[in-house]
Amino acid sequence: MMRTKLLAVLLSASALAACSTAPRPDGPVLRGSVASDPGWGGGRSAYGQFLAGQAALQGGANQQAAGYFNEARELDEDPGVLADRAFTASLLAGDVQRAAAIAPRGPDSNEAVRRLAVLTRVVDLLADGKGKDAEALLKSDPPGFPHRPVSALLGPWLAAAAGDAEGAIVRPELQGDRFVQYFGQLGQARLFERAKRYDEAETDYKALMALDAGRGVFLADYGAFLERRKRHDEAVALYDSGLARDPDDATLLTARARAAARGPAPAMLTYRQGAAHVLLICAASFATERQSQFSLAYLRLALRLDPKRDDAWLLVGDLLAQDDDVTGAREAYAKTPVGSQQYVTAQMKLAWSYQSGGDKPRALAIAQKVAADAPRDRDAQIGYADILRANEQWQQSATVLDGLIAAQGDKPDWRLLYMRGMALERANRWPDAERDLTTALKLNPDEPDLLNYLGYSWIDRGERLPEAIAMVQKAVDAKPQSGAMLDSLGWGYYRQGDYKTAVAKLEQAVELEPGDPDINGHLGDAYWRVGRQVEARYQWQRVLSLEPDDKQRAEAESKLKNGLGPLPARVAQSAG
């Protein structure tokens, strides 16, 4: 998986400078553990600690990197050369207070790092209740690109924290930036409400609701405002309008139930919470642009202001998992407490982390507990069914889905039918699986994955071949770069006896999915049928190198030993 290490790239110039000016050790630098290499001086060296920090930072182990860089600073005669690295690693590891304390400020610092350091110091001052100092620093030393949006959006919250009532309600603007325009108006609405200027706050909310995407993004905020004003019926109607578009929106479902019951409304955001929300939405924007380290840095800053932001912890976990920091990701997912709206999602991500890491019993245990703790939570039950299916507990997975589908009456969700159909097919209950899959296809006749799954199932059984091939062709037309779907199509032609066309389709599939043992095995079979026996054996041999399951291995070994029997007469004559 490709990682985005934007900060590491921005820091590369200072890294080269550090390496070029550091004294060279007499012995090899890399010997087992860089951090403990005696390199020179008979003990740990600044150079060795620096190299260890570099390796840790590039590997996503930010906490370890911070430790190495900070120790290197203490060992080096000129610790300034390592300040950029130590600051960056400390921030990404979540030690914002330390990052702020060692934040580079001098002219020798990398400019990109210095700008992020200013923002870090601003946030740390606000977290310590020093709103005036935070506001003054942001005004005197604005961070600049790419931090202009967050600086603009933070400004009113810093003004509010500093006691500047008029500055707090000025809507931030950044020329041509709709992100700042819209979220600046949201911040203004919130700060108007804090100032008890309710009519002006509602004017802002209504303007946001009039935007094309406003109801999807800002509806819950406006609903919470209505609840705080004791306008519960209006809030319920608003939530209903959102649920009409997305009936499964957990946030709106919870909000509607609360408003209908006249329960306590969500509290207004504090200054720190408002600033944390600004950092969170900017972090999400960076994440969509695949600038993962800036996103992680902003999330760490948001959590310094509001450590109970469960949505921020979830995104931290996702970014760390993407960067192969498995331990850090699991720690982040585990931060979400029972009762949080994000609890089920966080626990299921934790379960999948253990599943992909090979600890299947622990993954199953986590998913089972979540499903038991939240028997009415659809996502919890679906997540458990998915983990069961991943562990080849097909019948148990189908049983979990039975309850969800039954609860939907005569309007079942096609996705649940699809999931149960796959589980039943693997559990060798084909008639039941076929019923679910065909019903799902009637509900969503253009879904490529569903067309492919049902079509391939028929093809593999030698049933309804013309219809199945047409279905798979429709799936391929929708997803022409899917090796799995091209494999299904090629296998359909193979089953029809059109081996030449099968070879052409299966060769395309292997090009797209070269590491799939099934596809390679199918191509080997097709090669054999057109008389290309040497290439067929090559493909079957390749199957054995691709971590096949027991069935795939046994089939490949049998074909290598015995082939597929006599060639068709016309092929044999051509080969002769």
Tokens representing 294 are 């800036």
Q: What is the reported pLDDT for 105?
A: 86
Q: Are residues 496 and 572 in the same domain?
A: yes
Q: What is the C-alpha to C-alpha distance for residues 115 and 440, in angstroms, rounded to an integer?
A: 53
| Residue where a domain stops, chosen among 112, 137, 158 | 112
Asked if residue 56 belongs to a domain, the reply is yes
SS3 576: coil
In order of 364, 403, 424, the CA distances from 396 in angstroms are 12, 12, 10
Both 490 and 562 in a single domain? Answer: yes
Calpha distance 444→45 (Å, rounded): 64
HSE-CB for 411 with a 13 A CA cutoff? 0
| CA atoms within 13 A of residue 545's CA, in its CB half-sphere | 9
Task: Report yes or no: 129 and 274 within 8 Å, Cβ to Cβ.
Answer: no
Three-state SS letters, 401-469: HHHHHHHCCCCCCHHHHHHHHHHHHHCCCHHHHHHHHHHHHHHCCCCHHHHHHHHHHHHHHCCCHHHHH
Residues 103 and 175 in one domain: no
The token pair at 158 is 């810093």
Identify whether residues 190 and 101 lie together within a single domain.
no
Residue 164 lies in a domain: no
Report the chain's C-alpha Rg in angstroms. 29
User: At how many degrees (to 10) do helices 271-288 and 178-194 cross?
Assistant: 160
Cα–Cα distance, 183 to 154 (Å, whole number):
11
**CATH number, domain containing residue 504:** 1.25.40.10
**Residue 146 CB partners (closer than 8 Å, separation 6+):** 294
Q: Give the rounded distance of the alpha carbon of 166 from its chain centre.
A: 40
Cβ atoms of residues 88 and 11 within 8 Å: yes
Three-point CA angle 395, 401, 405, nearest 5°: 135
What pLDDT is stored for residue 570 in this prediction?
55
* Cα gap 87→305, rounded to integer Å: 18
Domain that holds residue 233: 169-268
Long-range CB pairs of 572-576 (<8 Å, 24+ gap) are: 572/531, 574/531, 575/531
Does one domain contain both 495 and 572?
A: yes
Confidence (pLDDT) at 339 = 86
Indicate the residue type of 110: N
Instruction: Residue 6: name the closest of 230, 464, 309, 319 by CA.
Output: 319
Residues in the chain, overall count? 576
For residues 13 and 109, give the distance between their C-alpha atoms in angstroms, rounded to a whole number: 11
**Residue 206: Cβ within 10 Å count:** 12
CB-based contact 370:347 (threshold 8 Å)? yes
Predicted local distance difference test score (pLDDT) of residue 110:
84
Q: Where are the beta strands (DSSP E) in 125-243?
A: none
Task: Answer with the one of 112, 127, 148 that is the final residue of a domain.
Answer: 112
In a domain, 477, yes or no: no
- The confidence score (pLDDT) of residue 212 equals 85
In a domain, 558, yes or no: yes
Contact 96, 123 (CB under 8 A): yes
Q: How far is CA 476 from the centre of its chain?
A: 27
Q: What per-residue confidence (pLDDT) applies to 31?
A: 24
Q: Is residue 537 part of a domain?
A: yes
Q: 388: which residues sit within 8 A by CB, 6+ positions away?
A: 364, 367, 394, 396, 397, 400, 423
Q: What is the CATH number of the domain that holds 102?
A: 1.25.40
Under-50 pLDDT residues of the chain: 1-43, 46-47, 77-78, 572-576
**Domain edge (last residue) among 268, 297, 322:** 268
DSSP summary character for residue 536: H
Give the contacts of 562 (CB within 8 A, at least 6 positions apart). Answer: none
Closest CA to 449 of 481, 470, 479, 493: 479
- How far apart (Å, rounded) are the C-alpha atoms in residues 434 and 463? 12
Number of domains the chain is built from: 3
Output the 3-class SS for 65-128: HHHHHHHHHHHCCCHHHHHHHHHHHHHHCCCHHHHHHCCCCCCCCCHHHHHHHHHHHHHHHHHC
At 107, give phi and psi (nearest 5°): -70, -20
Three-state SS for 498-510 is CHHHHHHHHHHHH
Cα 225 to chain centroid distance, Å, stands at 31
Does residue 197 lie in a domain region? Answer: yes
**Cβ–Cβ under 8 Å, residues 298 and 282:** yes
Residue 504 belongs to a domain:
yes
439 phi/psi in degrees, rounded to 5: -65, -45
Determine the 3-state secondary structure of 214 from DSSP.
helix
User: Is 498 inside any structural domain?
Assistant: yes
- The residue whose two tokens read 């200054």 is 271
What are 503's two structure tokens? 């070879």
Is residue 11 domain-shared with residue 107, that is, in the same domain?
Answer: yes
